[in-house]
Amino acid sequence: MSTAYYKTEMEFFVDMQRCIGCKACEAACAECETNGQQSMIHVNYVERAVTIQTTVQVCMHCDDPVCANVCPADAISKDEFGVVHTANTARCIGCSNCVMACPFGVPFKEEQYDMMMKCNMCYDRTSAGKKPMCATVCPSQALYYGTREEMRQMRPNSVPVNTFQFGKLEVKTKVNIMMSAGSTMLKVD
Amino acid sequence: MARLPVAAEKIIEQFGPHLNFAPQEGYTGRDEPDKVVETHCCFCGMQCGIKLLVKNNKVVGFDPWMEFPFNEGRLCPKGVQRYLQNNHPDRLMEPLQRVEGIGFKPITWEDSMNKTIGEIKRIQHTYGNDAFAMLSGVSITNEKSYLVGKFARVALKTRNLDYNGRLCMVSAGAGNKKAFGLDRGSNNYTDLKKAEVIMVCGANVSETFPTLTHWIWQARDNGAKLIVVDPRVIPLARTADLHLDIKPGTDSALYGAMLRYLVENDLLDHDFINNHTTGFQQTIDAVKDYSLEWAEQVTGIAKEKIATAAQWWGKAATSFLLHARGIEHHSKGVDNVLGCINLVLATGRIGKPYCGYATITGQGNGQGGREHGHKCDQLPGNRDINNPAHRKYIAEVWGIEESEMPGAGYTAYELIEAIHRGEIKGLISLCFNPLVSLPNNNYVREAFEKLEFYATIDFFLNETARHADIIFPGSLHEEEEGTVTTAEGRVTRIRQAVTPPGQARTDTAILLELAKRLGVGDKFTYNTSEDIFNELRIASRGGTADYYGITYEKIEKNMGVFWPCPSIDHPGTPRLWEDKKFATADGKAHFNPVAYKDPGEVTDEAYPVVLTTGRVVSQYLSGTQTRRIGKLVNQYPEPLLEIHPELAAQYGIAQRELVKVVTRRGEAEFPANIVETIRKDTVFIPYHWPGRKSANQLTPGTLDPISKIPEFKVCACQLVPLRKTAPPPQEAPAYNSI
């Protein structure tokens, strides 16, 4: 696996304000040859009865990935660039520990293969200097892949946040969520 | 005899719609394509750049085209999956003939041509030339639009040619011609970036032009205020600074009241008005009684919100006003457009950087397709078929006598009415599915059943083609070279990625063969699409839509050229009116007075609820293509009746309860989707589906008196709850409904 072109300064940013629920990201993600027409990114209505707001959930690539920590088969690994890789097909035993443990609800069990699948931030593309497919096609750029400095210049009204508080658990992630200026953390009680 | 030869179910069994899903492992050869073709999406007016991956003469996948300046790789779900229209099991690959009681049987090209030419000649000999009509569409290239215009006048010698842009951009076109003397968005989208105020009127940008969303957000990042005028909280309205939740059919009241506010508060550009416009006084006289209170009563928008919108608009230094079908699909569509233009002219913010105005053209070549003589009253260069000088010039280009040039014919819906009356007996169509896309479509179907002969050119057997006597298998977007003109007025290159499969031919080849057999082959001697484009350049020369200076080479080198481009050394015109010389006869921009009128149908005791129609992000227009792509169908599998919880409660309607919607034209049943994101007095149904699931069974054929666009966006309906829950969509599929 070549890492020659991996741009470590590039980060992933998600801005829910901009999400229009179009599912271009899902469609494009599913096209990846390793995904077998399954999308690793998920767009859902928050509560359609009251709002058109959608959320988009991509793997957050945690600094200390719970999915990897709870994996009894040591099938999930984080690499030197902070990318948390999907389960190693040889090792995964389909136990679903990761599915239950992930605070963001990202991994899912693919029953036909009896193994977990999740986003690896398009390693084939990002390691070759390209943007992940979802962030490439996203028509509103709710999904953006670039540098923190680019983001600061382009979108001065919001800031990237990558610290999340789930009850007593604090989680730091490689992926950022854009929040209103001044925010430093997203608390999920 | 244009009745169905057999039951629709039997036709569907053979010709679909069937759903195409990519194989789980992707199509073979995707990783090692024979070629990667830089072209454009086949769907909307954004014409996003996209790369198609080709293996063994089949499109097997896509790749983002990062360098194309408008979308830089961004796509919507339709664009991502557009490649699945290629390689599709429903693809028509041989000419077909209607056989009573059997369906459609393959026939040779020779026989299909002979039969068609024979019928054209018989009908024209018996009833006159104009009794044979042509309907076309604007998903086709500029070259084909031009060719169709010439084919109808020179080969068919009929005045009755019109196109499906009649359901799309004609109100905007008519308004722009009145105000500016030219029909094109005044600015390209880079002028959005530093606009202080953006007003989006009746344009569900995020679902119908998703890739435009990014441009609007770029402006918002720079501090722009966004005003969205729409009866629903569309995705773009959710975060807008101001959402004007307008009652359908009342748009011109809003713009009239805003204009009056600008006048009363002197938020006007007097220099611009005095030096570069006409008609200001009559225009403001027309709105002198349109107080905020009156506008609140008519439009249902709180007067404070109207005042805020007017104030923001009036005080801005830069701005961009965009509108689309939401204000144009009305019996006063042209009035609504002029109401918007009056606001732009009053503040003088046009012809300058970040001061923009544009309709967002809907169809892929909605812009180019309305310039090259494809309309019933038009000749190439956006010339007027009734103007003697224009007729003379084009007759010379075409090598015919001016006296041979037919006059203006019926517009699309009037043409259907003429078929009903028995005035038109034969029809050939291309790229148009009126049984789904025209209003009051039970009436439209009856018209098709009266035709003595109907031939169609298409790549799938759509709902209308089921009524055909002869079906010519034509070409997909990726099967022919050409150009299109995007919503920005940018002429771009469509590249042939693959050749038509089986016995299918390019649309151009079919039209040229028909022309030859009609005895005018000498007027249609083109070897390539570029040959047609080069004739189009000459034909458009000196017209308002002047393409003379645009060449294939120049388009390719510059990733598009904006018309007007009158000479080879001209760089094109991304922004109009920088010299303040407008294309009107007096060189000025024209204010046009707009007195408020009610829509063609208003609610009453019998029909107490407002019905409006529109689109969803995963489907495109009549669905001929997108109702055949599996995941797009699954994304929004059936039309739902959007209804506010308070209105639902009045009728005791529960979530997913089937509701019969009844109008003066017809009735249809839809599952209720109870949402707070719509006005309490209005229901919404998207229109992409056929048969019993078609919203256009309900819509009225009321036409704008100038543009002749039908009033899809407002009518009156009754709601009859059926006290049963709708079955899951997979049990009662809508994509192939009969």
Q: Where are the domains of chain B?
A: 19-85, 96-166+366-562, 170-359, 609-725
Q: How far is A69 from chain B (nearest CA, A)?
A: 31
Residue A42 forms contact with B (CB below 8 Å): no
> So what's the pLDDT on residue B456?
98
Amino acid at A68: A
Q: Which residues of B touch A28 (CB under 8 A)?
A: 75, 80
Span B612-636, pLDDT tens digits:
999 999 999 999 999 999 999 999 9
Contact A155 B221 (CB under 8 A): yes
Residue A41 has pLDDT above 70, yes or no: yes
Q: How far is A123 from chain B (nearest CA, A)?
A: 16
Residue A128 forms contact with B (CB below 8 Å): no
Q: Which CATH number fits domain B170-359: 3.90.700.10, 3.40.228.10, 3.30.70.1890, 3.60.60.10?
A: 3.40.228.10
Average pLDDT, chain B: 97
CA distance B81 to B61: 8
CA distance A73 to A90: 10
Higher pLDDT: A113 or B494? It is B494
Q: Which residues of B touch A49 (CB under 8 A)?
A: 645, 655, 674-676
> So what's the pLDDT on residue B2?
73
Torsion from C-alpha of B206, B207, B212, B213, nearest 10 degrees? 10
DSSP B241: S
> So what's the pLDDT on residue B1?
56
Q: Which residues of B touch A31 (CB under 8 A)?
A: 22, 26, 61-62, 80
> So what's the pLDDT on residue B150?
98
Closest residue, chain A, to B676 (C-alpha): A50
> So what's the pLDDT on residue B366?
95
> So what's the pLDDT on residue B79?
98
| B609-725: CATH architecture | Beta Barrel (2.40)
Nearest to B220 by CA among B205, B208, B232: B205
Where do the H-state alpha helices sit in B136-181? 142-150, 170-180
Strand partners of residue B112: none
Which pLDDT band holds residue A111 (cuts at 50, 70, 90)?
A: confident
Angle B298-B326-B665 (CA atoms, 0-180°, nearest 5)? 85
- Total H helices, total E strands in chain A: 6, 9
Span B299-357, pLDDT tens digits:
999 999 999 999 999 999 999 999 999 999 999 999 999 999 999 999 999 999 999 99
Q: How far, in whole angstroms, is CA B552 from its chain's centroid?
A: 25
Which ranges of chain B have pLDDT less than 50?
none
Nearest to B72 by CA among B35, B96, B42, B46: B46
Average pLDDT, chain A: 92
Residue A30 forms contact with B (CB below 8 Å): yes
Residue B714 DSSP SS3:
coil
> So what's the pLDDT on residue A34?
83
CB B87 within 8 A of CB B462: no
Residue A4 forms contact with B (CB below 8 Å): no
Residues in contact with B20: Cβ distance below 8 Å, sequence separation at least 6, in sequence order: B84, B85, B87, B88, B89, B90, B628, B629, B630
Residue A94 forms contact with B (CB below 8 Å): no
CA distance B68 to A136: 13
CA distance B302 to B257: 12
Distances (CA, A) of A6 to A2, A3, A61, A82, A172: 8, 5, 16, 11, 21
Angle A95-A101-A105 (CA atoms, 0-180°, nearest 5)? 105
Worst-scoring range by mean pLDDT, A77-81, A144-148, B33-37?
A77-81
Contact B30 A140 (CB under 8 A): no
> So what's the pLDDT on residue B398?
98
Residue A2 has pLDDT above 60, yes or no: no
CB B460 within 8 A of CB B42: no
Closest residue, chain B, to A26 (C-alpha): B77
Nearest to B205 by CA among B227, B184, B235: B235
Q: Which of residues 47-86 of A touch B (CB under 8 A)?
A: 48-54
> So what's the pLDDT on residue B609?
98
> So what's the pLDDT on residue A4?
58
The interface pTM score, or ipTM, of the predicted complex is 0.96
Strand (E) positions, B528-576? 561-562
Q: Which CATH number fits domain B96-166+366-562: 1.10.1200.10, 3.40.50.740, 3.30.750.24, 3.40.50.2300?
A: 3.40.50.740
> So what's the pLDDT on residue B372?
97
Closest residue, chain A, to B207 (C-alpha): A22
Contact B673 A36 (CB under 8 A): no
Which pLDDT band holds residue A1 (cuts at 50, 70, 90)?
A: very low
Q: How far, in whole angstroms, is CA B388 from its chain's centroid?
A: 29
Strand (E) positions, B324-376? 355-359
Question: What is the average pLDDT across A98-107?
Answer: 93
| A11-188: CATH architecture | 2-Layer Sandwich (3.30)
Torsion from C-alpha of B236, B239, B240, B243, nearest 10 degrees? 90
Residues in contact with A45: Cβ distance below 8 Å, sequence separation at least 6, in sequence order: A21, A51, A52, A53, A54
Contact B675 A50 (CB under 8 A): yes
Distances (CA, A) of B327 to B185, B250, B330: 16, 9, 7
CATH number, span B19-85: 3.30.200.210
Contact B221 A36 (CB under 8 A): no
